[in-house]
A and B are shown apart, each in its own frame.
Chain A
Amino acid sequence: MLSRIAESLFWIGRYVERADGTSRILDVHLERLNHLPLEEQRSVARELLAVMGAKPQGEEFGLPELLHALAYDKHSASSIAGSLGAARENARRARETVSQSLWESLNTTYYGLNQHRKDVVGTYRFCNWVLERTAMVRGLADTTVSHDESWLFMVLGRSLERADMTARMLSTRDVQSAGMSWVNMLRCAGAYESFIRTRRAAFGDQHAAEFLLLDRLFPRSIVYALRDADECLAKLDPSAQRVGFINDARRIVGQARTFLEFHRTDDLMSELPEHMERVQKAVTQASDAISRKYFNQADEHAWVGEVS
């Protein structure tokens, strides 16, 4: 397939997952943020934005600005509206490859972005709506696209972004140490029921973090997402190698996953920030390596221009 198309599909996967992850994070933090005194609200809003990988514009940065930056700003790749816009733009460029229903659902989502009240209560509804729409997009991608190379690129992007988003989700714990309980953290990832059923009476931060980081069966855990990415990469490039890997992306993803999976620790919580930084770094590097290998473009960041 064309490199350009492959790249579009890869980014559809990433952007849709990013919108999903961002709305989950925003949804749980809003509740907490809303209860803080104004001064603290401002500083937490800034930190939250930093975790999501963006910088505040202008001096005045409070709750309304945070909502704009993470939910409604169409010109920023780290906002929900921006991500969904970019996903739709990518789908438009690969329209002949993606299925009609996938394109339609992305397009409908794009046109629905404006139909929400932009206050706190409206944002809750917005986040919920985004979760529904992204679930639909994923479902259509899985059921109406042949599971060939093109689908693999989409899943690859989705899995990498999912690992990244779960890492950010865990990093936000530091931002609001007072309010971010492990219950919220698990709710954020939709993992509460799964966790409770697996761990029975073992409650606590450490167990929750461990679950989201290392669980082998929960689809939003980092180890699970990285393994998915690894499998996609293996299927995309099935040449059996006697020694080592030519593919940089495979090496990076595999290293990160195996390190986490085989790492033994007594104090996960204090190591958490490092794990999160490394996971995010690995995702960026893997994404770069994939670009170099498959999309073959001089400028790795060309996609930035597609945000509109």
Chain B
Amino acid sequence: MSDLFQDYSEAAARSGAYDEMFAQGHIARKSYGQVSGALRELSLADVTARADSMARTFLDRGVTFDYAGEERPFPLDIVPRVIPADEWDVLERGVAQRVKALEAFLNDVYGRMAVVTDGVIPRQLVTTSAHFHRAVHGFEPSGGVRVHVSGIDVVRDAAGTFRVLEDNVRVPSGVSYVLENRRAMAKGLPEAFGQQHIRPVEEYPRRLLSALRKTAPAGVDDPTVVVLTPGVFNSAYFEHTLLAGLMGVELVEGRDLICRGNRVYMRTTAGEQRVDVIYKRIDDDFLDPLQFRSDSMLGCPGLVNAARAGGVTIANAVGNGVADDKLVYSYVPDLIRYYLHEEPIIANVDTFRLEEKEAREHVLDRLEELVVKPVDGSGGKGLVIGPDATKDELDALRKRVIADPRGWIAQPVLQLSTVPTLSGDKFGPRHVDLRPFAVNDGDDVWVLPGGLTRVALKEGSLIVNSSQGGGSKDTWVLADSPQLPAEIIPRQSVTVREQVSVWPVESNWRDRQTEQQQ
């Protein structure tokens, strides 16, 4: 192996994590055969040139995220993350199972609350959640789906087992990078694709559009779908434009919409046009000033009532936040057993519920060994990693936990698995997570093969969020049965003669003309 991998095995041993590419003794795993072969052929100059050109492409295409008010290209590392078919099969089923359970849970929570009556979870758990919205209680959203799009974050622990880290069923973002990463990789490292069959990701926008159309209010023949964005200053604005563009639908802001008579319209040059499905990319709190924050300028007054009356489908449904509350997360395995009568396919990470007195005392004694997270945080905000925190930070944390035990959970520090990542002039192991995306159309949960692999670009860092110095990797799912290249199906060489000719018989004007000339 070229000197790009010099020192890699020592660094990997130092971190003690599961390495996705190399097994014990620096031997590339089977699924990485092609990738490692391709990388071996490249010199440092090649690799840097390609990485630069990929970054340049991202900037040109506007694949950026907003970092402290500045547009930055989302760092894409040149080494892909590869998932073999058998492992993906488990993940796929596990993710779909989870989405189904959360869907059932939400329906129940905003309806009969049988899950509470049957004693699976305490009532308090639901009613104390910041994202439990009474405004949407007691009605089934038209189309019958609440979790149209979800992103279930999974990680691999030191033993190599996949575990769910958190659920995102409100506004999961990042799928645009999956689509763009694949495009960039196909041009940046074409050798690595080789002859293996990698499952494509390009069908995502079509799947999403068809799911959105399918869940339109009853009686609408040709539903109009729109993407609702908070506007150009949102950090995920690029994603909103990309999805709207790829689906061929309008990208609207709150001020483009009007609610009247429990129906939603958008202002167009041809007058007001009815909107049937809204793919909502803004937080519930800002959606409808009549129900939530009354100072919000991003939403449109009356949306929630329109949804309640069945005049519009909002995807994802309002109030989904109660299902990705991190304390509810600790009950998801029970929810899966309760609603689906199945055992969870992917396990949770062990979680301490700080409301329970014993657990709290145990955690407060060992704060420096644990990760403590706020239950409704996203993007890594507010999270404290014990081993990396100073004494002052831990003391502050202790006070906050005691003041609001419902607001926090604690988990052991997981050594997330690592993948080689270009850093300076060589590859080093960097920690990654994985966010598979699932689309639910009411009948079926489809999981996008792969998903977004985020990588912490700093050595040893466990925080992969883009807002805190994370990058991403293209994620490849290998197909089940490698295509048999030996057997080339002879292409039928269809000549025009063999087909029915529809054109008029060619007039012989040219022949006549040549005759005349002669």
A interface with B by C-beta (< 8 Å): 30-31, 34-37, 39-40, 43, 120-121, 124-125, 174, 177, 183, 193, 195-201, 203, 248, 251, 259, 263, 265, 270-271, 273-275, 277-278, 285
Interchain CB contact under 8 A, A201 and B488: no
Select from chain B the residue with minimum beta-carbon distance to A184: B202
Q: Of the candidates A35, A120, A259, which one forms a contact with B503 in the assembled complex, judged by CB atoms under 8 Å apart?
A: A259
Residues of A within 8 A of B195 (CB): 35-37
Interchain CB contact under 8 A, B499 and A274: yes
- Binary CB contact string for chain B from 490 to 514 against chain A (1 if under 8 A, 0 otherwise): 0100111001111110000110010
A180 vs chain B, min Cβ distance (A): 12
Q: Is the interface of B mostly helix, strand, loop or mixed?
A: helix
Interchain CB contact under 8 A, B496 and A121: no
Given contacts A40-B488, A263-B502, A273-B496, contact A200 B248 (CB under 8 A): yes
Select from chain A the residue with minimum beta-carbon distance to B53: A125
Select from chain B the residue with minimum beta-carbon distance to A39: B488
Select from chain B the residue with minimum beta-carbon distance to A252: B509
Asked if B143 is at the interface of the complex by the 8 Å CB criterion, the answer is no
Given contact pairs A31-B186, A177-B491, A274-B499, enumerate 7 new A-B contacts (beta carbons under 8 Å). Answer: A30-B190, A121-B53, A121-B188, A199-B248, A203-B206, A273-B499, A275-B503
A118 vs chain B, min Cβ distance (A): 14
Residues of B within 8 A of A125 (CB): 53
B interface with A by C-beta (< 8 Å): 50, 53, 186-188, 190-191, 193-195, 202, 206, 209-210, 213, 245-249, 485, 488, 491, 494-496, 499-504, 509-510, 513
Select from chain A the residue with minimum beta-carbon distance to B504: A259
Interchain CB contact under 8 A, A121 and B187: yes
Interchain CB contact under 8 A, B496 and A37: no
21 contacts between A and B (CB under 8 A): A31-B186, A31-B187, A34-B193, A37-B195, A40-B485, A121-B50, A124-B187, A177-B491, A195-B248, A196-B245, A196-B246, A201-B213, A259-B503, A259-B504, A273-B494, A273-B495, A274-B496, A274-B499, A274-B503, A277-B496, A278-B503
Interchain CB contact under 8 A, B509 and A248: yes
The 10 closest A-B pairs by CB, nearest first: A196-B248, A37-B485, A124-B187, A34-B190, A197-B248, A274-B496, A31-B186, A37-B195, A35-B193, A120-B190
Residues of B within 8 A of A36 (CB): 195, 485
Residues of A within 8 A of B504 (CB): 259
Given contacts A39-B488, A40-B488, A197-B248, contact A265 B186 (CB under 8 A): no
Select from chain B the residue with minimum beta-carbon distance to A32: B186
Select from chain B the residue with minimum beta-carbon distance to A117: B49
Select from chain A the residue with minimum beta-carbon distance to B489: A178
Interchain CB contact under 8 A, B494 and A201: no
Select from chain A the residue with minimum beta-carbon distance to B196: A35
Select from chain B the residue with minimum beta-carbon distance to A27: B187
Q: Is the interface of A mostly helix, strand, loop or mixed?
A: helix
Q: How far apart sit A40 and B487, CA to CA, in the bound complex (Å)?
A: 10
Residues of A within 8 A of B202 (CB): 183
Q: How far apart sit A265 and B108, CA to CA, in the bound complex (Å)?
A: 52
Residues of B within 8 A of A177 (CB): 491
Residues of A within 8 A of B510 (CB): 285
Residues of B within 8 A of A195 (CB): 248
Q: How far apart sit A124 and B513, CA to CA, in the bound complex (Å)?
A: 46
Residues of A within 8 A of B186 (CB): 31
B158 vs chain A, min Cβ distance (A): 35
Q: How far apart sit A183 and B202, CA to CA, in the bound complex (Å)?
A: 9
Interchain CB contact under 8 A, B247 and A31: no
Q: How far apart sit A251 and B504, CA to CA, in the bound complex (Å)?
A: 14
Interchain CB contact under 8 A, B502 and A35: no
Residues of A within 8 A of B246 (CB): 196
Interchain CB contact under 8 A, B502 and A201: no
A263 vs chain B, min Cβ distance (A): 7
Interchain CB contact under 8 A, A201 and B194: no
Q: How far apart sit A36 and B500, CA to CA, in the bound complex (Å)?
A: 32
Residues of B within 8 A of A124 (CB): 187
A193 vs chain B, min Cβ distance (A): 6
Given contacts A193-B245, A196-B245, contact A265 B502 (CB under 8 A): yes
Residues of B within 8 A of A285 (CB): 510
A127 vs chain B, min Cβ distance (A): 10
Residues of B within 8 A of A275 (CB): 503
Interchain CB contact under 8 A, B499 and A271: yes
A163 vs chain B, min Cβ distance (A): 15
Interchain CB contact under 8 A, B188 and A35: no
Q: How far apart sit A40 and B486, CA to CA, in the bound complex (Å)?
A: 9
Residues of A within 8 A of B509 (CB): 248, 251
Residues of B within 8 A of A193 (CB): 245, 248
Residues of A within 8 A of B194 (CB): 35
Residues of A within 8 A of B485 (CB): 36-37, 39-40
Residues of B within 8 A of A200 (CB): 248-249
A284 vs chain B, min Cβ distance (A): 11
Select from chain B the residue with minimum beta-carbon distance to A41: B195
Q: How far apart sit A121 and B513, CA to CA, in the bound complex (Å)?
A: 50
Q: How far apart sit A195 and B485, CA to CA, in the bound complex (Å)?
A: 34
Central interface residue in A36, A177, A196, A278, by most chain B CB within 10 Å: A196
Select from chain A the residue with minimum beta-carbon distance to B495: A273
A171 vs chain B, min Cβ distance (A): 11
Residues of A within 8 A of B249 (CB): 200
A250 vs chain B, min Cβ distance (A): 12
A201 vs chain B, min Cβ distance (A): 6
Select from chain A the residue with minimum beta-carbon distance to B246: A196
Residues of A within 8 A of B213 (CB): 201
Residues of A within 8 A of B191 (CB): 34, 120
Select from chain A the residue with minimum beta-carbon distance to B195: A37
B352 vs chain A, min Cβ distance (A): 47
Residues of B within 8 A of A248 (CB): 509, 513
Central interface residue in B186, B190, B195, B206, by most chain A CB within 10 Å: B190
Select from chain B the residue with minimum beta-carbon distance to A33: B190
Residues of A within 8 A of B209 (CB): 201
Q: How far apart sit A173 and B7, CA to CA, in the bound complex (Å)?
A: 47
Given contacts A196-B247, A199-B248, contact A274 B501 (CB under 8 A): yes
